[in-house]
Structure 1
Amino acid sequence: MDTASFGGFLRTLLIIVLCYYAFKFAMRYLFPLFIYKVAKKAEQNFQQKQQNYREQQNTAQETKSSNHFESGGMREKKKVGEYIEFEELD
């Protein structure tokens, strides 16, 4: 069985300390950049959806207004059913 040497212990301790500081550096400087990019992308998606919604609303209004002008400004009445006239019996 091998015994642990003092040099191996120092090397392991050094690796742990370097990993700790690398992680600390990443969290302090790189993580905020990552969050900034994610927020920017979410904002762009939101604006794109908002623009698509506005375009759909404009298209719907144009269609509605063009149908209004084509029909001469009058709406067609819906045919519900047959009209029956009743007489009152004495």
Structure 2
Amino acid sequence: MIQEASAMGLLRTILIILLVYFGFKILARLFAPFLLRFVAKKAEQKFGEQFGGFKNQANQKQQQKQREGETVIDKMPNQNRKSNEKVGEYIDYEEID
């Protein structure tokens, strides 16, 4: 039993494909901003967990210890600075054109 394709069947199939295609385009335009916002928020959370987790804990502990208006020095400058005497003397010069 062989069925033959009719012009109406072909036209109906093409019409269904076009309706599905344009329907998908319209729905994608409506829901794409929500989907992208959701994906960006999830990526930000994962990034924060991986890289910011340790910093956030340290910053929270440090902020709890500090009082308002208090000055905190995180790193003291190296006090053992010596000028290097082996460099020689500095000679100021001018370029000649």
TM-score after normalising by structure 1: 0.49
Q: Determine which structure has more spread, i.e. the larger CA radius of gyration.
A: 1
Relative to total residues, which structure has the larger helix share, 1 or 2?
A: 1
TM-score after normalising by structure 2: 0.46
The higher relative CO (CA closer than 8 Å, separation ≥ 6) is in: 1
